[in-house]
Amino acid sequence: MSDSASSLADSIPSLPPAREIPSTFISSVKSWWSAGEKGSAASEERLLRKLPYFRPAGSPPATPDNATAVTAQSSRVVLDDPKHYLNTFSITATSPSPEAPPPAVVLHGYGAGLGFFFQNFPALGKWAGKRGTSVYAVDWLGMGRSARVPFQVKAKREDIDGRVREAESFFIESLEQWRRKMGLETMTLVGHSLGGYLSIAYALRYPTRVNKLILLSPAGIPRDPNSTVPSRELTDPQTTGATDHDRPEPADSKRVEELKSSQQEAQRQESRSRKVLTYLWEQGWSPFQVVRSTLFWGPLLIGKYATRRFIGLDEEDTRAMNEYIMNITLAKGSGEYCISHLLAPGAHARRPMVDRISALRIPVTFVYGDHDWMDPEGGKESVERMRQAGNGLGRMYMIPHAGHHVYLDNPKAMNDLLIKELDRPAGSGRTPYSA
């Protein structure tokens, strides 16, 4: 850390450490009692403060001498309806370049939040400073720390297209309003899981506003209703074993088939408890709704998930992630209720993106973990369909030692690929699986 960055960090009031992960009913009650807007803000800030140039609200202003290449801050961006706002994290170059590439906008998955990317922000911040541009991470409307407004779909149950259109619009139109409020002409969208699906949907509706798409284990791509085991998101431990020597690998047919084979084996071994979880998901139940309904037991359940899912993190980061997840999970239900309208049984899209993506004329990169539960076949077919439609700018990669949360399981390899793809010229496509 530079002396200037260190002095910035020293001038910021300290935060209390994250609570111990609940292991008893009493500790679960105490955690439940502490949850709320104040606790939510603190839990997010605790993750963002890992960046030495982050400036919390109310902290002294940054020095005007451009001592750091970038500055970072959080804010609420109010949309057209004053009750609607998107929680936004901004990393901005202190010396903007007139030749800067479009800013990158990082978009989280279902029920998550921008804090999940805390291990990716250092690399993205370095890229922003070097290129004189900006990086934003945004919580979707009704998720994370954005406004928890009522989510409703008026279309009848049998009107699938109507339901999908309304559910997509809830998120897409709020993102478009955010873009206008931020004054961005174009942007590169980096979307994970459901955030990847919605990034494609946004690009299809507003094609002139998207420079390129980088899709991390995106949901809703293939048609096959038996291609995934979504309950693995709740039951699988974190994939570990990542090293600094790991490199993204072009996802050729052999690697896709190897991953498909392991997914099919997981389907055959799916336990009764997993089938119950899958059934609840398929019936439109929100897993977060289930956790909230347990009241005081909720933090204990979340703690069990966090200790299993983030086993690769150190103790401090695991506690910080647990407290962050607890706060956003126990918040009022809102955007999470989109799931049954966008995804059908098996967590595949009611309107699969593989049938829609060929309309795009921009670079699109698919990224999967080599232990992912999301079916890579949809990405493979999407790249081919784009090529057949005249767009040879599709690519697909596998990240070693990574599951569905590729950015968290192997951040070094993922960050290397992110920077490579952000810097890739728009016309540098080669083959469907080019490196």
pLDDT value for 212: 97
Tens of pLDDT, residues 44-73: 999 999 999 998 876 665 555 557 899 999
Considering 57-71, 222-236, 316-330, the range whose residues carry the highest mean pLDDT is: 316-330
Given 236, 404, 405, 409, the catalytic residue: 404
Token representation of residue 295: 């009241």
Give the pLDDT of residue 183: 97
Q: What pLDDT sits at residue 435?
A: 34
Judge whether residue 226 has pLDDT over 90: no
What pLDDT, on the 0 to 100 scale, is given for residue 339? 80
State the pLDDT at residue 348. 77
User: How high is the pLDDT of residue 116?
Assistant: 95
What mean pLDDT do residues 106-116 have? Answer: 93
Q: What is the mean pLDDT of the chain?
A: 83
Q: Which range in 15-24, 46-55, 58-67, 157-166 is most confidently predicted, on average pLDDT? A: 46-55
Q: What is the pLDDT of residue 261?
A: 59
What is the Cα Rg of the chain in Å? Answer: 21
Quick one: angle between helices 377-388 and 253-268, nearest 10? 140
* Residue 268 predicted with pLDDT over 70: no
Nearest-angstrom CA–CA distance, 107 and 203 = 13
Contact 206, 355 (CB under 8 A): no
Structure tokens at 122: 């250092």
Query: Catalytic one among 134, 174, 193, 286?
Result: 193
- The reply to whether 192 belongs to the active site is no
Q: Does residue 404 carry a catalytic annotation?
A: yes
pLDDT at 58: 66
Q: At 155, is the pLDDT very low, low, confident or very high (cuts 50, 70, 90)?
A: confident
To the query of whether residue 193 is one of the catalytic residues in this protein, the response is yes
**Annotated catalytic residue, options 372, 401, 405, 409:** 372
Residues 247-266, mean pLDDT to the nearest whole number: 60
As a whole-number percent, the residues of the chain with pLDDT over 70 amount to 76
